[in-house]
Structures are given as C-alpha cells and as structure tokens.
Structure 1
Amino acid sequence: MTDMCRDHTIKSEPLVLIVCSSALRCLDIIRTLGTFKEQCKITKLFAKHIKMEEQQKILSSRTVHVGVGTPARITALILKGFLKTSSLKYVVIDWNWQDQKLRRLVDIPELKVELFELFRSFVIPLVHENSTCIALF
C-alpha cells in the first residue's frame, strides 16, 4: 500500500475508501491505520463535527490516499464534486463490526439505504470498468 501511496499525488481523489457505520467507528479505524500515517494521507469523511465546507477545503488542499467515512457523507461529497472517484482502487466495507445493539452497517435501515445508493450511483460503475475492487472487512 505504501508504494501505491507514494506514487499518488492527486488532490481530492482517494485510492481507498473505507465505509463505516458511524463517526466513532471511523475514528477507530483511523487510529488503527496509524502505522500508515507517515506514508499515506488518511482523511476523515464523516459529518460529526466537520462541516461540508471544511471537508471541501481539506480535500482540495491536499492529497488523499485513504478516505474513511460514512455512506451519506461520502455520497454527499461526491455529489458536490468535492470528492472524486477516478483514482479509486479499493472500496472497503466495514462489514463485520457491530454496534452496541449488535447491528452491522447493513442491519441499520437508514444506513443500508445510504450504502446501497453510494454503491448504485458511484461504486458499481467503477467495478464494471474494472478500475475498482470491493472488499468486506
């Protein structure tokens, strides 16, 4: 992964998107990815305490290698043109993690709809082009 990050310098275009159920889960994953922080730029893509305009500034001002966020915010950023998918190689779904009520990302009705919309509109077309792979974690 570090080789892939080293060669990528395009702003607003992540190589990897990690889709999670909540902002807290995103932060857990970002902490876990700490060993890659020196080689890869990891960006938060969720709504909690981060306004859309702030994320636009962050995305437009620096290279993004890994974006970690929630389905609704990722979709909104793509729709507004702040987040581009042309360099996207991997979409990782935080599939097995369960919240306090033992619900996974696809067990929460509103998140399930948002996730499927993200996939239908943006991810599946990239998979059909053979430019992006999907992984379940």
Structure 2
Amino acid sequence: MASGKAKNLSKLSLRNPKNKDKASNQNTQNSNNNNSLSNATKPQPASASAQLSFFLDQFQSGNGIKISSLELESVNDKCILDLSESLDQDVSLLGKHVMAAFGPSWKEELCEKHLLDGKIDPGSPAILIISTSALRSIELLRGLRALTKECHVAKLFSKHMKVEEQVSLLKNRVNIASGTPNRIKKLIDIEALGLSRLSVIVLDTHPDVKGYSLFTLPQVRDEFWDLYKSYFHDRLLQGSLCLGLYGPLSYGNELKGKKRSPIE
C-alpha cells in the first residue's frame, strides 16, 4: 500500500514540474500573442503626412474643387504642427504641444503682454484656434492657461460677446485667440483682427455629441471654408502658416457609406 502511494507521488513529482513549466510557457506565449494583437489593433496617432492628406481631402470635398498638382508641390509635411501624440489628446497637454512648436522663443512669442513698435502689432495673434462653438473654444483654452496669465487670450465668438467688445480687446497685444469661424472672419474683415504675426492655426476636429465636427457640421463647415479660402489657403501654400489638427481624423456623418476620392 505504502509502496503504491510512493509510486504515485513519484509520478506526480516527475510529471507536475514539466506540466507546470509547459503551462507557464504557454501562458507567456499567449500573453505575448495578446499583447502583439493589442498593439496591432490599437489605433495609432496619424502621421503628419496622413494629417495633411486628410485636410486636403476635406478641403477638396468640402468645396467641390480639385487642388492642382502645382499647388500640391508647395505643400508638404512641414505645414503640419503635429498635435496627435495621444489619440485621447487631453486638453491639459495642448499648451505643451504649442510651446514645443514655438521652440526656445515660446515665452517671448506667447506670454509677453507688451506691444513692440514695428514688431508686435495690436490684435495680431501668433496662434488662432478655430472650433465649432463658444463652449468648445473655452474648453480648449483651459489647456493654455499657463501661457495666458500675463497676456489674456482673445475669445472670438458671438455667444455673450459683442463685436464692439472684441474690437476693443484687439487694440492690445494678443498672442493667442480662440473662436468660431463666422466671428473670426467678421473681425478680420473689419480689420480688427490682424494676421501679421499669425503662424499657427489649430483646427479642432473633435466630434460633438451628434458626431459632427468643424469639417462636417452644417453651416459652421461652410463658414470655416469661407474663412480658410479668404485668409489662410494662400498663406499655407506660401509656407508662412502651419496647421494643427486637434482631434481624430473622421469623415463625419454625412460621408458615412460614401467612397472617398483619393487626393491626386
């Protein structure tokens, strides 16, 4: 009886370590496979090239035009300020992206509040953030608080703000402005908002609760393209303006199920 138990224990002691090692190896392999699958299927931030292609595609489809090959030659990845480090794009990180874009001179460009004759014109921001609504504009500005303590941002939207109030504000130095397309264009049209310092426009592409974005929300979309064609497109082609797409690259509700034409 004792001898039989000893044999069984002996067999278990010889079998279990192998099974244990085999199971351990299998678990490790499964874990590695799962990690590889997760990394393969996890969405990755879009490259500058992909962002530029997306924007130009939106421009063409939104305006029913085709950009000529000659124009495309003057546009490259350097036109894109890469804000897609994280797909979640926490608003609190927006300021860090902006500071990186301006390099060592970010304090002088974005924080100083004094006008400089011949160098810093009143009402001419270095950065312009364009969103679909006043609420979204304010939300984005939370990430720039560290930059706007000394020189306050110009809020350029119609909700609770009169044009006259904004014109008065724009008589001072402005480093950062944030607003909606219609009001921004109106202030440029009446020469209250200047473009002499403008080097970056940040386009908020985050969808709202209904899935619409700056490029797809009816009326706002048309107002944005009117603004862009009037004041920004030529500057982009000349290389004096950079675009930052802040948000996912989505083609929106009205384009679902429709085949896109690639940029040629």
TM-score calculated relative to the size of structure 1: 0.90
Unmatched tracts of structure 2, length 5 or more: 1-105, 247-264
Q: Among residues 7, 18, 29, which one is paired with 2:140 in the alignment?
A: 29
| CA–CA separation in structure 2 for the residues paired with 1:39 and 1:127 | 30
Number of residue pairs aligned between Structure 1 and Structure 2: 135
TM-score calculated relative to the size of structure 2: 0.48
1:28-64 CA-to-partner distances (Å, cap 9, x unmatched) read: 111221121235531101110100011000101x110
Q: Give the alignment's Cα RMSD to 1 decimal.
A: 1.6
The CA deviation at 1:98 is 1.7
Unmatched tracts of structure 1, length 5 or more: none
The residue identity in structure 1 corresponding to 2:109 is M
- Residue 104 of structure 1: aligned partner: 213
- Residue 129 of structure 1: aligned partner: 238
Is the alpha carbon distance of 1:11 and 1:134 closer, same or farther for their aligned partners in structure 2, counting shifts above 3 Å? same
- Residue 78 of structure 1: aligned partner: 188
* Percent identity between the two aligned chains: 32
Higher helix share: 2
Q: Among residues 109, 112, 131, which one is paired with 1:4 in the alignment?
A: 109
Runs (4 or more) in structure 1 with deviation over 6 Å come to: none
| CA–CA separation in structure 1 for the residues paired with 2:150 and 2:162 | 26
Higher relative contact order (CA 8 A, sep 6+): 1
Matched, 1:94 2:94: no
